[in-house]
Every structure is written in structure tokens, then in C-alpha cells.
């Protein structure tokens, strides 16, 4: 009789133990992936610090001893290259950045995975006038630049923000034809600021081979005992601990999927097999009484742990999707949650007028109050089928869905009045300028194109006096 009782209890223990191990493993995966993202964020900061150091230590060199090749004027400075493209008149001196020394320093930290550093200083986008700096000089760079390489679109379409609010872009894995190397690129922008707006001035390109991810990805495997993969936005495998992997992921359902910070890259952890969850000692060393106690107590504990885990994941997800000051959506929501196409769509881009003056004259605390108040006004008019974003700084974006032009303009006019009626600062009237577009949005690319059109209308509104609505 006692054996008949013990046998089914052992079966129960087997499944309970397996479930517990799975739950513990999943907790370990979440913790390990979070640590991976923290280390990636530190790597981004290391690159940004190197850029700051290069800017602080740049030197001025005389504009002499150069070579001309068609539209390129170039220098070979101790093995580093400086290339002036489409420059009609050159200065007496130019800045020189010691990229070769920077590359050696960074490779000591990144396991020699850094292939190239390129600094692209924009003189004129319209006329393709640039000054390009490379860590090594070669005629290959001259030929590449003559063909008009180094596009800015790769940065505009893949921008992200680190935990330290460093703006960067992570470009997909590709094979560079000029150098015949497989690489991916981390890009950092530099801006000029004037008239409460920013203009792209330069881009830093850091070209890495896939071994950039080797150390941290191998650490994931050593901790979890499961293969880990890094994939780009096109599901191409950038790095894997499984040496037999294919170049693309065929079935994403075979993996636990996590975002690599707020980029379009993802971290994949292969799902565990049954035998990886079975711990023999948990089946054989427990007695009949311990089994009963274990079952009763553990059942309640597991319910609490699962509930806590669901609540924690829900809170984490909400925090990732919303900007903390205004509680409006951020760009990560657009990346992960927004569904296309959107028909009969109204896109409204608004900017608080003279916001810099508010911060300078009344302090950043007042500025934050103004941002919160304006966001509350936005929430009032966007109730229903609309999504509202803090787009950056004092700029906000509202996506009205399934509307018409008349309703859209009524909403925008109402929002303009609400903002004017705010009484945050004594004897100071808060206003905003608006750029409005009405269209159908088919996909993410057309979304960004529409926002760009709204931005042009916004620019017109500000240029012609502010506190205006420029629509369609």
C-alpha cells in the first residue's frame, strides 16, 4: 500500500521539480540578459567617452602637402587619412583627430574587434561637402568617397538612446565590399544648435566585427548552459555561441527573445530541453512526508512568485514604453508596439515656443512643470483612438487614427487654446507651434516620412511668428 502511495507522489514530485527548475532558469535568463544590456550600455558609454576625448585633444594642422584626386583633397598623416570632398575653398588650417591611437585604446577594451573608426564632418548636405577622417590611410578610402559613400540615412532610420541618454544608431550586419570584411556599425551624431533647433553636423562610425559581442554572449552561455545569439533587425545572426548556427534565424519560436537595449537588435536564448530541467537528486532523496510538505508549501509559493513575476514584467514593460516625466509614449513604443497601416491618420508635431527661455529665465523645475502641463493638455485631446509621444525635448507628437480633416483641426485648435490657458508661470503666456499632416500611413518608413513633413510645417509655423498651426 505504501508503495502505491509513494509511486504517484514521486511522479508528482518529478513534474513539480521540473516546473520549479524551469521557473528558476527563466529568472536566471531575465537577470543575465539584464546584466548583458547593462554591459552593452557601458560599451556605448566607453565609445562616447572616447569621442569626447578625441574632441578635447584634436590638433590644428596647416593645409599643405596634400594630394588631389578629382573631387577629393586628401592627406596621409602618419598613416591616418583626412579627406576633403567637394571643398571649393580650403582653410589655412584644419583639425586632426588621432583616430589610430583611439583605435588601439578601444581595441584593448573590445578584444581587438574594432575594425575602423571614421569621422564624417558635414559641411553641406546639399552639395555633398564633407571632411572625412579615418584611422588608416588608403587609396581604397579615396575611391569609396569618390563614389559618394557614407550615407546619413542609416543613422536617421535606426536611432536609439542609451540608459545614459546617449544618442546612437546600431546598423545591421553587412559585408563591406571595399574591405571585404563582415561588420556592423555603431554610429554617434554631433549636432549644432541654433534658434531652438538642432542640425546634424557630423557622424562618428565605429565598425566592429561580430566578435564585439563574443565576451558577453559567451558569458551568457556559461551562466545559463544554453546557446545565446545576437541578431540584427533583419534576423541575421551577428554572433552565436553555437558554432553550427545558420546565418539567419528560421524559427524564432525556438528561442526566448529579448531586446538589446532600445535598438532593433535582439538577444536570443535557446529554449531548454526536458533533460536540462531534470535534477535527479530532487526525485530520489525526499521521503514521503517531505514530499507532501514540499508539494503543499511549494504550490502556494509558486503562485505568489508567478504573480510577482507577471506584475514585475508588466511594470518593466510599461516603464520601457513611456517617458518618465510626462508619462507619454516614447520612441520605443513606436519600435515595438505600433501597428501599421494606419488609415485616415492625422499627424501633429508640436513644439513649445521659447522653451529654452523658460528654462533659462525660470529654472528647469518650472520647465518640467510646463512639459507636464502641456502633456496633460495633449492627453485631454488625444483620448480615444490617438497615441501621444514625447518626441524629444519640448517637442511632442500625436497620431490621430480614423479621423477626418475637420475633426483633426478641431482637436488641434482645442489643444492650442488649452495650452494658451495654462497658468504655470506668473505673467508668462505659454504657446506652442503646430505642424499638421493628414494622410494614410502604410508602414514605419512612410510614418517617418510623414513626421518629416509635419516637421517642415512646424518649422514654417515657428519661422512665421510661432503660436501658429500650419496644416496639410
Strands 432-441 and 469-471: parallel
pLDDT band at 301 (very low <50, low <70, confident <90, very high): confident
Q: How far, in Å, CA of 459 to CA of 437, rounded?
A: 13
DSSP string, 268-327: EEEPPPGGGT--HHHHHS--HHHHHHHHHHHHHHHHHHHHHHHHHHHHHHHHHHB-TTT-
Residue 455's closest CA among 329, 316, 351, 310?
351
The torsion angles phi and psi of 62, rounded to 5 degrees, stand at: -70, 145
Cell of 100: 589610430
Mean pLDDT computed over every residue of the chain: 86
For 363-377, what is each residue's pLDDT tens digit? 999 999 999 999 999
pLDDT in tens, 345-402: 999 999 999 999 999 999 999 999 999 999 999 999 998 889 999 998 999 999 999 9
Mean pLDDT computed over 86-101: 88
Cell 518649422 sits at which residue? 459
Q: 242-255 pLDDT, tens per residue?
A: 988 778 888 888 89
Look at 116 and 23; give whichever has higher pLDDT. 116
Position 145 scores a pLDDT of 83
In angstroms, the CA 328 to CA 52 distance is 32
The domains located in the chain, with CATH, are 1-285 (no CATH), 331-471 (3.30.70.270)
**In the structure, what pLDDT confidence band is assigned to residue 298 with cuts at 50, 70 and 90?**
confident
C-alpha cell at 442: 502604410
Instruction: Kindly tell me if the per-residue pLDDT of 88 is higher than 60.
Output: yes
pLDDT at 269 over 80: yes
Q: What is the pLDDT of residue 335?
A: 80
Name the pairing type of β-strands 159-161 and 67-69: unpaired
Stronger pLDDT, 213 or 199, i.e. the higher one:
213
| 257 grid coordinates | 527573445
Q: Which of 290, 313, 307 is nearest to 16 (CA)?
A: 290
Burial class (CB in 10 A: 0-12, 13-18, 19+), 416: buried
402 compared with 300, residue with greater pLDDT = 402
Please report, in angstroms and rounded to a whole number, the separation of the first and last CA atoms in the chain.
83
CA distance 16 to 22: 10
Residue 151: C-alpha distances to residues 65, 88, 144, 145 (Å): 29, 21, 12, 11
CB-CB contact of 99 with 121 (8 Å): no
Where does residue 392 fall: left (phi above 0), alpha (psi -120 to 50 degrees), or beta otherwise? left
Residue 81, number of CB atoms within 10 A of its CB? 23
146, 69 Cβ separation under 8 angstroms: yes
Q: From residue 336, how far is each of 224, 322, 339, 351 by CA, in Å? A: 26, 12, 9, 25
Residue 122 corresponds to which cell in the numbers above? 558635414
Amino acid at each position: 500500500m505504501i508503495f502505491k502511495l509513494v509511486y504517484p507522489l514521486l511522479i508528482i514530485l518529478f513534474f513539480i521539480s521540473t516546473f520549479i527548475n524551469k521557473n528558476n532558469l527563466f529568472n536566471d535568463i531575465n537577470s543575465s540578459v539584464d546584466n548583458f544590456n547593462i554591459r552593452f550600455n557601458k560599451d556605448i558609454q566607453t565609445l562616447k567617452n572616447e569621442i569626447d576625448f578625441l574632441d578635447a585633444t584634436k590638433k590644428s594642422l596647416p593645409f599643405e602637402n596634400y594630394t588631389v584626386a578629382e573631387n577629393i583633397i586628401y592627406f596621409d598623416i602618419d598613416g591616418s587619412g583626412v579627406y576633403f570632398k567637394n571643398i571649393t575653398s580650403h582653410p589655412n588650417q584644419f583639425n586632426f583627430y588621432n583616430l589610430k591611437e583611439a583605435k588601439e585604446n578601444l581595441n584593448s577594451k573590445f578584444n581587438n574587434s574594432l575594425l575602423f573608426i571614421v569621422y564624417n564632418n558635414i559641411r553641406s548636405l546639399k552639395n555633398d561637402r564633407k571632411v572625412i577622417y579615418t584611422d588608416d590611410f588608403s587609396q581604397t578610402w579615396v575611391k569609396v568617397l569618390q563614389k559618394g559613400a557614407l550615407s546619413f540615412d542609416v543613422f536617421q532610420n535606426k536611432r536609439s538612446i542609451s540608459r545614459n541618454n546617449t544618442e546612437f544608431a546600431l546598423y545591421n550586419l553587412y559585408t563591406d565590399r571595399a574591405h571585404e570584411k563582415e561588420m556592423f556599425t555603431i554610429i554617434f551624431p554631433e549636432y549644432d544648435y541654433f534658434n531652438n533647433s538642432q542640425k546634424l553636423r557630423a557622424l562618428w562610425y565605429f565598425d566592429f566585427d561580430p566578435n564585439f559581442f563574443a565576451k558577453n554572449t559567451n558569458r551568457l552561455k556559461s551562466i545559463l548552459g544554453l546557446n545565446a545569439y545576437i541578431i540584427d533587425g533583419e534576423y541575421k545572426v551577428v554572433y552565436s555561441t553555437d558554432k553550427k548556427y545558420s546565418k539567419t534565424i528560421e524559427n524564432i519560436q525556438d528561442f526566448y527573445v529579448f531586446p538589446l537595449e532600445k535598438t532593433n537588435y535582439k538577444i536570443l536564448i535557446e529554449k531548454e530541453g526536458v533533460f536540462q530541467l531534470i535534477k535527479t537528486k530532487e526525485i530520489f532523496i525526499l521521503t514521503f512526508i517531505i514530499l507532501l510538505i514540499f508539494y503543499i508549501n511549494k504550490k502556494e509559493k509558486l503562485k505568489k512568485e508567478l504573480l510577482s513575476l507577471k506584475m514585475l514584467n508588466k511594470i518593466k514593460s510599461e516603464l520601457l514604453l513611456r517617458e518618465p516625466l510626462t508619462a507619454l509614449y516614447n520612441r520605443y513604443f513606436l519600435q515595438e508596439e505600433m501597428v501599421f497601416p494606419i488609415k485616415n491618420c492625422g499627424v501633429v508635431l508640436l513644439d513649445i515656443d521659447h522653451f529654452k527661455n523658460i528654462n533659462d529665465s525660470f529654472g528647469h523645475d518650472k520647465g518640467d512643470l510646463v512639459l507636464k502641463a502641456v502633456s496633460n493638455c495633449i492627453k485631454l485631446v488625444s483620448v480615444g483612438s490617438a497615441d501621444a509621444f514625447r518626441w524629444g525635448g519640448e517637442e511632442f507628437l500625436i497620431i490621430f487614427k480614423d479621423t477626418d480633416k475637420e475633426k483633426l483641426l478641431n482637436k488641434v485648435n482645442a489643444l492650442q487654446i488649452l495650452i494658451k490657458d495654462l497658468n504655470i508661470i506668473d505673467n508668462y503666456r505659454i504657446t506652442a507651434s503646430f505642424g499638421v499632416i493628414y494622410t494614410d500611413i502604410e508602414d514605419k518608413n512612410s510614418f517617418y516620412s510623414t513626421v518629416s513633413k509635419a516637421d517642415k510645417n512646424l518649422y514654417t509655423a515657428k519661422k512665421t511668428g510661432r503660436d501658429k498651426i500650419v496644416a496639410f
